[in-house]
Chain A
Amino acid sequence: METITFTGQVFQYLVTGITVGSVYAMVAVGFNIIYNVTEIINFAQGEFVMLGGLIMVFLHVAVGLPLILAFPATVALVTLVGVLLDRLAINPIRRPTVLSLIIATIAASILIKGTAMFIWGKDPFDLPAFSGRDPIIVLGAVIQPQYFWVIGFLVLIVIVLTFFFERTIIGKAMSACADNPDAASLVGIDVKRMVLLSFALSAAIGAVAGITMTPISLMEYDRGAMLAIKGFGAAVLGGLGSFPGAVIGGLILGVIESLGAGLISSGYKDAFALIVLLFVLFFKPSGIFGNIEISKIKRF
């Protein structure tokens, strides 16, 4: 047993923190997409992650589809759940207020969790790692190949989303809904369709997060709530509605948790992240990348 140097330890904490943070960031991005279009917080966001993991296990391990097919099929199925969530719970509400919509998402999250429990039971499930489990050793720190998949997909999501919102007409239409839904509908944008699209998109991102993290941490039916809380913390830390904010917020949260647990005390791991969150909000209530002027005109 070779001993591990202090630098090696810190490097290990950073690597772990960035990986865990990447998952938080993906959840936070999902929160932001829906928030930007509807001004609501979708409390079923963590459930998309859970479904992503469990459906992938079903398709890849139980049915035996190859990875390359099971991955898009899982994302498509979870996207369908996102679409159904909008069509069955969000769209039919006659006089939508921010509060009633948020309550609808809470109800949906309980329903999805319960259904998942009936289908898969309470046991955790495993997924084989995408490219084996032989770790790579850098500076005495151990890096799982799966870590690269998680971080890689976060980068991919950021690139695709940036392109989508800045270069495509639909993406710009969605951003317009975010700025002012009334004005957007006056210029001919179908706001309800954009809401549907936002749910589909964030469900897909949630599914990717779930699929990539399951080989590292397993997945079971009630994992969603905790991930939603962490992802929400990341979104708030970065500034609700800001995509760079969500990514930075997620990574900061992950790294602080990891360093705090490693260098100070693992018992207070969750507290470190929350203390930093409170501290940031105390000095900059709109989050790191948030704009106080914009947040004033938002309803929530």
Chain B
Amino acid sequence: MTLRKITVLSTICLFAVGLLAGPALAFEGSYKVGGVFSVTGRTSFLGDPEKKTAEMLAEKINNAGGINGKKLELIIYDSEGDATKANLAVRKLITQDKVCAVIGPSLSGTSMAVVPLAAKYKIPLVSCAASYKIVWDDKESKARKWVFKTPQTDTMAVQAIYTYLKKKGVNKIAVLSVTSGFGASGRGELLRLAPGYGMKIVADEKYGPKDTDMTVQLTKIKGKNPQVIVNWSVGPTQVVVLRNWKDLGMTSIPFYQSHGFGSRKNIELAAGAAEGVYCPLGAVNVSELLPDNHPQKAVTMQYMKDYAAKYNEPLSSFGGHAWDALELVADALKAVGCDKAKIRDYLENTQGFVGQHGVFNFSADDHIGLDKNAFQMVVVKNGDWALAK
């Protein structure tokens, strides 16, 4: 034998051994689940933790023996926050990869772009985006048959805040909002739901997403003497507005932020101005604070530990939306296998599913599955979250 032949033979042998030794657990086939997230681009702060969470979860499920002895095969594409790319990715997942269900996309915009595909190919889609329009057809005023979603909506955040304010005996509020999609949508809900809770809105002020100072808006609010201020924005403006609020000596008027405030980074950036500020947050943000008898205590603590161990970075609440979506689908696969119509029916009838962002109860009319109880009212105390009493 020449040296060359020996090399070739031994290479083949090595490959053969590799192939045999590869799968540590023997799976009989696999269940394919597709994921589409904004992993890169401007909205990567949503997609990146979602992708990481989904991958972590799939690994965990497979290490525990998979679903019904089958491997959970996760196929994830990056939409880059682009509606066209999201649409192409979902199309590819359905027609080429032949997945059983799709989770994602991450944004309301990209989700709306793929909603028609779910109906066309009759495949269950569990979106990780906020808008209720993803699951609700306004024209026909009924739930979209094939689409579900896991995040809470603006409406629930507003309801959570108003319920809390009512309990505190507040009825005169000032509304502040940013003029972006997030702010406009939140402002709409604040105004729409106010009469039902007996709230009188004495000021309705706005600012731009790139504004550098909100002293003017706050001064105007100060003149109207509200009992509390409710602010709806994301990004640096929600921090700047807090500093202005403190500088103007308005801390005697309690300040309420939207669920967009749910990052410890914001407390840090506010440089002390966030003290005493209220906001509604999902259980996943405050798992350590929950009482031991809280239904979500166990799942949120577990997720926080696993995520920190695997990625060595703090948990983002957005990853929790992907956790909820994938676990819901995995549950359905376990119960009914890869039958799209049956998965859909199973999802729609899911009751009491304990997730990261709440306890889900779906029905034919409700494909969101959550209510205002999915939010805890939280207050900033000594530079950290504390449950508001």
Q: Which of A1-41 contact B (CB under 8 A)?
A: 1, 3-4, 6, 9, 12-13, 16-17, 19-20, 23
Give the docked Cα–Cα distance between A220 and B234 (Å). 14
B240 interface contact, C-beta 8 A: yes
Q: Which residues of B contact A258 (CB under 8 A)?
A: 216
**In the complex, how many angstroms separate the beta carbon of B72 from the nearest chain A beta carbon?**
32
Give the docked Cα–Cα distance between A223 and B213 (Å). 13
- Contact between A3 and B215 (Cβ–Cβ < 8 Å)? no
A292 interface contact, C-beta 8 A: no
B5 interface contact, C-beta 8 A: no
Give the docked Cα–Cα distance between A142 and B207 (Å). 20
Interface range for B: 20 to 34
Pick the contact of B253 from A1, A137, A144, A220 — CB < 8 Å?
A: A1
Q: Which residue of chain A has its CB nearest to the CB of B235?
A: A124
Q: Which residues of B contact A181 (CB under 8 A)?
A: none
- Contact between A266 and B220 (Cβ–Cβ < 8 Å)? yes
- Contact between B236 and A218 (Cβ–Cβ < 8 Å)? yes
**Of A4, A6, A213, A223, most B-chain CB atoms within 10 Å:** A4
- Contact between B271 and A142 (Cβ–Cβ < 8 Å)? no
**In the complex, how many angstroms separate the beta carbon of B335 from the nearest chain A beta carbon?**
41
Give the docked Cα–Cα distance between A262 and B211 (Å). 14
Give the docked Cα–Cα distance between A135 and B225 (Å). 21
Known: A135-B247, A258-B216, A266-B217. A218 touches B222 (CB 8 A): no
B182 interface contact, C-beta 8 A: no
- Chain B contact residues, CB within 8 Å of chain A: 42, 45, 179, 205-208, 210-213, 215-217, 219-220, 222-223, 225, 235-236, 239-240, 247-250, 252-253, 265, 269, 271
- Chain A contact residues, CB within 8 Å of chain B: 1, 3-4, 6, 9, 12-13, 16-17, 19-20, 23, 122-126, 128, 133, 135, 137, 141-142, 144, 213, 216-218, 220, 223, 226, 258, 261-262, 266-267, 269-270
Task: Write 20 A-B pairs (CB below 8 A) sorted by A numbering.
Answer: A1-B250, A3-B222, A4-B219, A4-B223, A9-B220, A9-B222, A12-B219, A16-B215, A16-B216, A124-B235, A124-B239, A126-B269, A133-B271, A142-B248, A218-B236, A218-B240, A218-B269, A262-B220, A266-B216, A270-B208
